[in-house]
Amino acid sequence: MKELFSYTLPLKQKQEITETLPNGDKITKSVDKESLVKIIIKEPSRKEIQEAKDVYNREWSRCVTNGIVTRAILDKKYRAENGIFTPSEIKNLEDTQKRIKEIREEYSVLDKIPNKSVEDNEKINDLLNEFSNIQKGLDELENLNEDLYSNTAESISKQKEIMYNILYLSHIEERGRPVPLIDGDSLEDKLENYDVILDKNDEKSKLYYKIIERNGYFVNMLSRGKLEVSQLEALNKQWNEIDAKAATDDNKAESDKKAESDKKEEVKSTQESAAVVPSDINPVTIIKD
């Protein structure tokens, strides 16, 4: 198997450990242990490239047979309504595409420098950040555009093709060897097994969801020619930073929630203590007075 790209993600798992007490007795307890899991995106073989195309074609035929509208028909409708973009939006898109081409050319030149200076690395980071920001804007615009075509035969078929690539190219390392992330002899088997994993809602299912989400983005962008393999490392680093910030925010939120709960319990305990009548006082006497 030829590796296209790999990265690691943390996985928390319960592990049984045995401890020996001072008196010689042994006890077994469960502890949380975090380990790094290596995820691999393999380079597709010719057979897999062809099968992905076949998946698209079969799904497209099924959609058309079932009466789902094609993109060509929808395009014809929108052209009759003077299109979906204004002239200024089209001009902005053309300028943006031109800048993306310039960034790729500049990046390619800098990336080939054998002994990069500090300035070279700074320039590379600047280019990657600019590319990332431009791409986010384009993705948002494209998503708005794609929403108009989301129910076409082409869009549905493309999603099926992308899912095929994700599930067949995603691998995980176990005992030093890469194995398919999701087992299954067919795409339908893999999809069913993936659903079974997600339904468990445990640490493993959360990890697999992250892997599918990240690999899906990488594979999709690569297949559409919007990313070079050499850019994956920097993009993955940015993704890790986003995950780390999200985890920090979650931990803070959980800590604040616990602090608030503890405060409520303290107030409740104080109120209950204040409400207790001392044993040497007769409640009846108090009422009479």
pLDDT along the chain (289 residues), means of 10: 90 78 79 86 93 94 92 75 67 83 88 87 86 77 69 90 94 92 93 91 88 89 77 84 78 65 60 49 42
**CB atoms closer than 10 angstroms to residue 45:** 13
Per-residue pLDDT, 167 = 94
Per-residue pLDDT, 143 = 65
Per-residue pLDDT, 134 = 83
Per-residue pLDDT, 289 = 42
- Do 9 and 210 touch, CB atoms closer than 8 A? yes
DSSP letters for 35-73: EEEEEEEEPPPHHHHHHHHHHHHHHHHHHHHTTPPPHHH
Q: Coil, helix or strand for 184?
A: coil
CA–CA dist 289, 274 (Å, integer) = 20
Per-residue pLDDT, 42 = 93
Residue 172 backbone phi and psi in degrees, to 5: -130, 145
